[in-house]
Structure 1
């Protein structure tokens, strides 16, 4: 397990860079992780991130389809917000575990 410093806070991360403790997450940390992923966060990003945190911290598993049906953003919009690997990037920025559906 590695440590990384985001927004002046040392956090534990997996080898893929996901926080090991979602309770260490802050919006400031999210902004720095997003910068590493080449994403500048907007209010819409945070709506999706908050949805992801709420669902995963309640023990629900997420898919791209789940997020597309959230009412926050459709699937195409999700890909636009988090280009390339939207679920991987969004969960990483949200400070939750990497979904099992992501390789």
Structure 2
């Protein structure tokens, strides 16, 4: 880790700090902590809300633009509305769950 590097006539020594050891991929002790389950619940609810809102927006767009049900071409949210629904939901869910699940 600590390599000597020579740049422009200057020699830089080893780092003045020590890197922490790498963490294990799976830690059984984490399964006993409430914060782990709280993060799982937050991610599950966020995913459910994301799918619920975005799928309903797409279904609503499809039914509002169906010529058999409505003759109004401007009656739905449109492609831009679907994009805003997806982007808005991602923003809201990341903002709300970032402090819980990291």
- Normalised by the size of structure 2, how large is the TM-score? 0.26
| Bigger relative CO (Cα 8 Å, ≥ 6 apart) | 1
**Which TM-score applies when normalising by structure 1?**
0.26
